[in-house]
Amino acid sequence: MGRLEDLKANINEYFKSAELLFKQGLNNAAFMMYFKTLVAIADYILWRDLRTLPDNHGERFRLLKPRYPDLYNVLNYYFPYYRDTYTKRIDDRLLVAVRNDVIGLKEKVK
């Protein structure tokens, strides 16, 4: 498999895992997997278009902000909630919102 195919496989695996957790009512775990799906989508787009992969979230955000502001805004919005999953609970509305954003962004991965 090539790098794009690997990244696409990760997107699909993370999303399927998130959907299973979502259906089981495991909100924090589902949110974490939806966020990982968003990160994998970002990495897919960065590799597809720029042939670069970030080493960490900070670098990812720096690459996305000027080139893909819409994707940057989505990731930047959810990132604090992702960090909060270690100590707080994710509510249903936020979980549905991230799920809908992931579903919409998955369409950009072709």
Q: The domain that contains 21 carries what CATH number?
A: 1.20.120
Identify the domain containing residue 89 by its residue range.
Answer: 3-106
Res 1 pLDDT > 70: no
48-57: pLDDT as tens digits:
999 999 999 9
Structurally, the chain folds into a number of domains equal to 1
17-55: pLDDT as tens digits:
999 999 999 999 999 999 999 999 999 999 999 999 999
What is the C-alpha to C-alpha distance for residues 8 and 23, in angstroms, rounded to an integer?
A: 23
Q: What is the mean pLDDT of residues 74-92?
A: 96
Longest dimension (CA), the chain: 38
Q: What's the pLDDT at 107?
A: 86
pTM, 2 dp: 0.94
Half-sphere exposure of 20 (CA within 13 A, CB side): 6
